[in-house]
Structure 1
Amino acid sequence: MIEFIFGLIGGTALLMYGVDMMGDGLERASGKLMKKILSVLTGNIWSAFFVGIATTVLVQSSTAITVLTVGFVNSGLMNLSQAIGIIYGANIGTTVTAQLMAFSFKFKLTEIALPVLGLGFAISYFAKKDVIKNIGSAIMGFGIMFLGLKILNSGVPFIQESESIRLFFQDYASITIIGIILGAVATALVHSSSATVGLVLMLGQAGVITLPGAIAIMLGDNIGTCITAQLASATGNINARRTAWAHTLYNIIGVAICAILIGPFINLIEFFTQIMYGSSEIGLQIANSHTVFNVVSALVFLPFHKVYVTFLEKIIVDKNEDTFEHLDKNLLTSPVAAFQATLQETLRALDIVKHMIDKSLTALYENSMKCLDEINKDEDILNKIQIDITSFVVDISKQGLTNQYSAMIPAFINSINNIERVGDRTIEYLKNISTKVDKQLPFSELSQKEIDVYKNILTTMISITIDSIENRDYSKVDEMKRLEDQADSFYNALLDNHIKRLENDICNVESGAIFVDLIGHMERMADHLYKVYMTLVDENLLSHL
């Protein structure tokens, strides 16, 4: 009995660890494929659906993809409709694990667990390229998963001989509603549908559970897997919570329909397995029930997708509909997603700086105190963004990154620091502008025109940087260098012009001091913006995002 319990615990632990390791290795080996989850940001429901399937097959965890999707929605990187499409696909993609486990029992693949584990270790240990190392890790994950299944399978004789275990599953699990509750509770506790499926396959192999009982537990497994997304969305915005509830209600509705039609569904699974494999092997039937259920659920919901989205928007409401947590911690599970969110937040910081420059000069020309208040609020937001990005990037660095992603850590920290310095310089010259507003000091028309030229240099540099990042355009290096050089030379020219105006009594002395301070800050702001461009508009960085 003790040996069986230890084997059950250890085998389940190895199974869960193996699936996670396999998914992590595959994800890191195919980082660019994970980018596809971001490509649906402007896509339709069908592209989101297929991306959900592909990425979940890659990661081998619908829970991970669903939590990641909640993070995207909470960050404002994805809308509710796209997120739900990914969830439809993720539920199908995760059934690949069940198929692998069923085949491992059917064709005795568990017997090659140790050789596969050894092969994966050798590849991971001796390979020099990160991609090959990650493939080795994924193969090790396969081996560990098979080893966990082998240990679980070793408990079959004990289960077959145990009258109490056999009677429990015959008396209770075969009752559909009880089986559903068992599956939901078990999956919610271990946060892994793969573990529940593995245990059900073991029970099926032992002959202590019938197909109706196994299907009931599998249906509950689909409900239990929703708990993680609910927890992830608890502190999120309204659309993050809608996404989690979309996942939960989708599975509950599908399970309810299937439970009502359990008889025809069992007949369908038996027929499908016989046609596909020419077999009535219960392990294959269990795996197929998992796949068929999720495929049919998706096909039922897809035609009514817009109605479902509207329904969720009606029943889950909040006053603060448009608030976003741009750097959601749920994104940390995927470096690509986390850095993509960081990049978007960096672009937001650039937009804020551009707004601060525009508003500061409006305050200068129009003597507007209202503009000054707006700029100070923008500076507070910018300071928070700097702190948030730095903290978030440090959290990303703790995830175990490949070399290509590790290089992004200093790039983003340096960039946001330079952007924040542009904001700081705006605040510094704002003090003098405030003095001008208070004293209603005059500014010559020629001085204003010269400052406008400087402002255009700065805002053009910001626009080029944003456009280059969004369009992955690396051709503006020379133009940025020309603008930065122009800012340097323009400073000296404006200083000479200013001295001449003072000599000719065209310019007020106190206004002149403000002018000199302003162009000095603007010249240094151009230096910071050039550094931001040269750091971020780098093909080696952007090609991985």
Structure 2
Amino acid sequence: MTLNDVKLIFEFVGGLGMFLYGMNIMADGLQKAAGGRMKRMLGYITNNRILGILLGALITAIIQSSSATTVMVVGFVNAGILTLSQAVGVIMGANIGTTITAWIVSMSEWGEVMKPEFFAPVLIGIGAFILLFAKKEKRREAGGILVGFGLLFIGLSFMSGAIKPYRDAPVFAQIFTTLGSNPLFGILAGMAVTAIIQSSSASVGILQTLAMNGVVTWNSAVYITLGQNIGTCVTALLASMGAHKTAKRAAVIHLMFNVLGAVLFAVPMFILFRLNGAWASSAISSTQISMFHTVFNVANTVILFPFAGKLVALSEKIVRDKEAEVEETTEQQILSHLDNRILENPSFAIETAKREVVHMGELALDSVKLGLTAVATNSREAVDKIRAQEKTIDFMASALSDYLVKITNLSLMEDQSEQVKNLLYTVNDLERIGDHAENIAELAESKIKGEIHFSPMGQKDLEQIYSYAQGAVENAVLARKNEDAESIRKVIKFEDLVDNAEEDMRDKHIARLANHECRASHGVIFLDLIGNLERVADHAYNIAGYVKDEM
């Protein structure tokens, strides 16, 4: 091996690195540009599989990776956000969306103006200029997309240049003749390369770079491409390890879908190549690889779409239910909902965290409601339930805080960073509401032990302020869930009512004490109760304020 050979190997590896890094930067910029649209996509995923296919294709086209999309789907299924039936459509769509990268790579064959070396440096220059001097977030996103796009093409140019001196080498002809004459070898080669680099888009890009130099034959390209579609399933299969059985089934469906498609195409293509040997051994272009890749994935989806239900049923037979499966604890369920696989996409990760924050809010609200039952009816059962829920609320606060910190380390837009910060603050306020509910439970327990009963007037006042505090928390949770301005206004109204009622009730209670209408020991519990309710309303007000800041 000469020094020049080493130089060309370095050039190829460097080109591959630039290609992968450029694709990553471009996908990151596209994700940011999509912004809230990515978040809204989650709400559109229903049992309508056609809609799921469209969304899967769109998401993959944006993030430039079917592997990442499928890993997210595994995470969504594991978190209980998607059912297996819903996941099938998204997985099918992801295979179609990944063909976008192949078309971007093949652009260099569409004329001199489209060649990487012609316009890629200009794209990088313009993009870098925008990134350095632009202040607005949207412009900086556009700059990132341009730089990524340019680096992707420069990487392709480096890879192509490194291969060019060897295009007449007998070794290439021998390799692709072997792979083309034996479908199994071709498919295994495609699988192996894709499994190693964990990206079908990148492995197809490498194949297209070889095709640009005229060293890839039609039959070898077809079999390798089919293998690449199977190889991309490895990422999702690895991601499903340690997940629920339902998430494992989603990964298995992805594998079955691509394996069945590869078999359905490999058999007729093998026959066609046998009938026309000249065509089989002729060189294939990068654009023709893009065309086959697209036709395969679209046709595979059309053929297998009617059998989506059968794929789900078959996956359930492959990944069977354990006979004595241990039921998950509440803590395990919470951790499974905050699945790290969903961190592949910041918008979806934020939406997932928001769902769990709302769930935490509903638990805190339930604890507040139970507090009135405990105080009004001297219910020990309500006291015990509040304490049990407080442990869950504390666990959720810790788990959500950790998950939100992980999200802050992702590439976020300015408004996303603001929302994550507000979600962290909300978690803290909800945890404090849970603490106050526990304080109320302790006061109720003291009331039960001391056989304390409030006067009819005191009981009526307590129920009134309780309804206000409960209304404040209920609307704060609704405001966080729906980003609803009307709910925010109601929180403000209820918080004012609580403040006024607390001040009025404190004065009236002191007057009753002065007139010896109730005991001092009773009064301490009563004043502590209304004090806790006033702080509950304050925390609800804070939560509504965070939502208002985002609107």
Normalised by the size of structure 2, how large is the TM-score?
0.89
1:287 CA drift (Å):
1.3
Within the alignment, does 1:196 sit opposite 2:203 as a pair? yes
| Residue 182 (structure 1) shift | 0.9
State whether structure 2 residue 527 is matched by structure 1 residue 516. yes
Which whole-Å deviations, capped at 9, do the CAs of 1:474-522 have from their partners, x for residues lacking one? 1344432221111011112222443455566654543332222111111
The separation in 1 between residues aligned to 2:549 and 2:312, in whole angstroms, is 39
> Does the 8 A contact of 2:75 with 2:247 survive in 1?
yes
Q: CA deviation at 1:265?
A: 7.4
Tell me the distance in 1 between the aligned counterparts of 2:423 and 2:177: 59
Matches within 5 A, 1:328-367: 328-367=339-378
Deviation string 1:70-103 (CA, Å, 9 cap, x unpaired) is 2223333333222221111111011011112123
Who is 1:172 aligned against?
179
Q: Secondary structure at the match of 2:485?
A: coil
Deviation readout 1:314-348 (Å, 9 max, x if unpaired): 54336368845222222223221122122111111
Provide the alpha-carbon RMSD of the alignment.
Answer: 2.7
- What's the secondary structure of 1:161's corresponding residue? coil
Residue identity matched to 1:285: Q
Counterpart in 2 of 1:543? none
Gaps in structure 1 of 5+ consecutive residues: 271-278, 541-545
The one-letter code matched in structure 2 to 1:47 is: L
Does the CA contact (< 8 Å) of 2:233 and 2:251 recur in 1? yes
- 1:118 aligned partner: 125
| Structure 2 residue 292 is the aligned partner of structure 1 residue 289 | yes
Contact 2:74 2:240 in 1 (8 A): yes
What is the distance in 2 between the residues matched to 1:313 and 1:265? 36
Cα deviation for residue 454 of structure 1 reads 2.1
How far residue 523 of structure 1 moved from its aligned partner, in angstroms, is 1.0
* Structure 1 CA distance for aligned equivalents of residues 492 and 440 of structure 2: 25
Q: CA deviation at 1:144?
A: 1.0
2:134 is aligned with 1:130: no
Change beyond 3 A, Cα 1:172–1:49: closer
Task: Report the equivalent of 1:224.
Answer: 231
Cross-structure match for 2:94: 90
Residue identity (%): 33
Specify the alignment match of 1:302 in structure 2: 305
What's the counterpart of residue 161 of structure 2? 154
**Over residues 16-74 of structure 1, what are the superposed CA-to-partner deviations in whole Å (9 max), with x where a residue is unaligned?**
11111111111112213322421324462222211111121122111222222222233
Q: Is 1:6 matched up with 2:17?
A: no
CA contact (8 A) 2:479 2:487 kept: yes
Classify the secondary structure of the residue corresponding to 1:261.
helix
Partners of 2:31 and 2:38 within 8 A in 1 = yes
Contact in 2 for aligned 1:14/1:145 (Cα 8 Å):
yes
What is the CA distance between 1:407 and its match in structure 2? 1.8
Question: 1:69, 1:83 within 8 Å by CA — same for their partners in 2?
Answer: yes
Tell me what 1:275 maps to. Answer: none
2:116 alignment partner AA: T
Partner of 2:491: 480
Partner of residue 17, structure 1 = 21
Q: 1:58 to 1:454 in 2, by over 3 A?
A: same
Structure 1 residues 494 and 333, CA, compared in 2 at 3 Å: closer, same or farther? Answer: same
Q: CA–CA distance in 2 between the matches of 1:234 and 1:537?
A: 40
- Contact 1:60–1:97 (CA under 8 A) maintained in structure 2: yes
Which residue is 2:505 aligned to?
494
CA contact under 8 A between 1:120 and 1:140: conserved in structure 2? yes
Q: After the TM superposition, which of the residue ranges 515-524 and 426-435 deviates more from structure 2?
A: 426-435
Partner of 1:450: 461
Unaligned runs of 5+ in 2: none
| Residue of structure 2 aligned with 1:40, choices 37, 44, 51 | 44
Q: Over residues 380-422 of structure 1, what are the superposed CA-to-partner deviations in whole Å (9 max), with x where a residue is unaligned?
A: 1111221122222222221232222222233122211111111
Offset, 1:240:
2.4
- Structure 1 window deviating more from structure 2 (425-434 vs 209-218): it is 425-434
> How far apart are 1:432 and its partner, in Å?
2.2
* SS of equivalent residue, structure 2 residue 337: coil
Q: Distance in 2 between matches of 1:18 and 1:80?
A: 33
Q: Aligned-pair distance for 1:228?
A: 1.7
Give the C-alpha shift of residue 438 in structure 1: 3.2
Question: Displacement, 1:247?
Answer: 1.5
Most deviating of 319-328 and 179-188: 319-328
Judge conservation of contact 1:71–1:330 (CA < 8 Å) in 2: yes
Aligned partners of 1:239, 1:507: CA distance in 2, in Å?
60
Aligned CA distance change for structure 1 residues 284 and 400 (closer, same or farther; 3 Å):
closer
Q: Which residue of 2 aligns with 1:374?
A: 385
Higher mean alpha-carbon deviation, 174-183 vs 384-393, is at 384-393
1:67 corresponds to: 71
TM-score, normalised relative to structure 1: 0.90
